Structure 1
């Protein structure tokens, strides 16, 4: 699999704002709008056109399955093969690309610093803790997302490591667009807690939904998903118009990701 390579800036010890400015200059983090015609109100994937000649308001997996475990989902950016997907893959798989943790952590910190309060208000109140979706890739003995979070000392939310454990290996096809109930196990400390669940990308949604299932099964009061990238599939016809538009969508961390969504869109459990 071939991904774009990113040149590390020569200057050291950049601030969060400087790393975000670098991300904007690279043009691989196109923004996600709160609501737009032809896009799933939950996961922000393009939806097909129904028999009435209009786009479905939600994609089938969100409407039929994911609403049973996820109270909501917030993607920071859209992700495509030669863009954010490549940066996330390199962070996860290449020691030499570990420096990309710095701009990605800065992206997440800025997004949460700007919008966490609005997200909490929209979904019923403050989060008790943040949890990462585990993977098989580790650096410094940490899940690659936990390692990324360690780049910044003070977060606007309390992240806790080791809450979720991956209980078995599975193929990507096995978890695609469906919940795998025994894929993860969750610590009983989540009982009654409101959880913000972080993953790197949301592609078919099966991994995040399976992790949310484990948290809910352990008693979590609600689970809101967040991901760096909402992956788009160039082979899907309904995605082509949106993909063609993304180069004209620079990274915007000021626009609130939940303002503009209706109550129907925000509360999947209702």
Structure 2
């Protein structure tokens, strides 16, 4: 990736701050409702009851919602449009990941218990999206120099709705799992579960955006609170000191 800061500068209005963990917010996925005394939302609790441990750490770079340009890029597969015109969406997403990692790799490694030894992506199994010749997130990671040396195409698509499969073993690996969108969490938690089942010591999920349903009262509240302060790449939901 070239100058990620310069590339993303014109697109700053597309990103929405991910609030730090707080009351009424899931400590894993950062937006799901977590009513006391629960610290996690129902979706993350269901994932944790699976056959293997799911990831306890999901770190979104931004929030997104329907009818936003970032949602269009991720879900409707549209190239983003900025001051310089339309840009290739894979390059835009790679610049987003690269700039975030430059500032926050220590935050992610802290959750993993040390430096990452493996980087993985999740094969796209969403039926509403056409199959691409090359998986989007593989292309994105391939453009981020800091990730390329540790990338391994580990995860295989589920067969007949079974769990994700893993090529070989990842014994004692600290895995950075990179994906584009966190919605229900089933894909991320399912992939993390498969990696743990193959021996991973830690799995931390970095997702470009966490989807927020604005029709839901809780989601609408989180969205409003997220807009209390502007998005900044030098803050993340793990280290945001607040004002």
When normalised by structure 2's length, the TM-score is 0.81
1:74–1:225 CA contact under 8 A, matched in 2: yes
Q: Any conservation in 1 of the 2:60–2:208 contact (CA below 8 Å)?
A: yes
**Other-structure match for 2:54:** 69
* Higher mean displacement: 243-252 or 233-242: 243-252
> Is contact 2:176–2:205 with CA below 8 Å preserved after alignment?
yes
Native 8 Å contact 2:58 2:206 kept in 1:
yes
Q: Deviations over 1:200-240 (max 9, x none)?
A: 11111011111111111111112111111111112222112
Task: Quote the Cα distance in structure 2 between the aligned partners of 1:225 and 1:20.
Answer: 22
**Any stretches of 5+ residues in structure 1 without a counterpart?**
1-12, 171-181, 262-270
Larger deviation, residues 119-128 vs 61-70: 61-70
Q: Which among 105, 108, 118 is matched to residue 107 of structure 2?
A: 118
Find the aligned partners of 1:156 and 1:212 in 2 and give their Cα distance: 18
Question: Which of 36, 42, 60 matches 2:42?
Answer: 60
Superposition RMSD in Å: 2.9
Structure (1/2) with the larger helix percentage: 1
How far has the Cα of 1:59 moved from its partner? 1.0
Which range is displaced more, 129-138 or 83-92? 83-92
Match status 1:238 vs 2:212: no
Number of aligned positions between the proteins:
228
Alignment match, 1:106: 95
Alignment partner of 2:11: what SS?
A: helix
- Indicate if the aligned counterparts of 2:17 and 2:62 stay in contact, CA closer than 8 A: yes
Query: CA separation in 1, counterparts of 2:67 and 2:239?
Result: 29
User: C-alpha offsets along residues 178-216 of structure 1, whole Å, 9 cap, x if unaligned?
Assistant: xxxx33101224122111111111111011111111111
TM-score normalised according to structure 1 size: 0.74
Q: What is the aligned partner in structure 1 of residue 16 from structure 2?
A: 30
Contact 1:122 1:258 in 2 (8 A): no
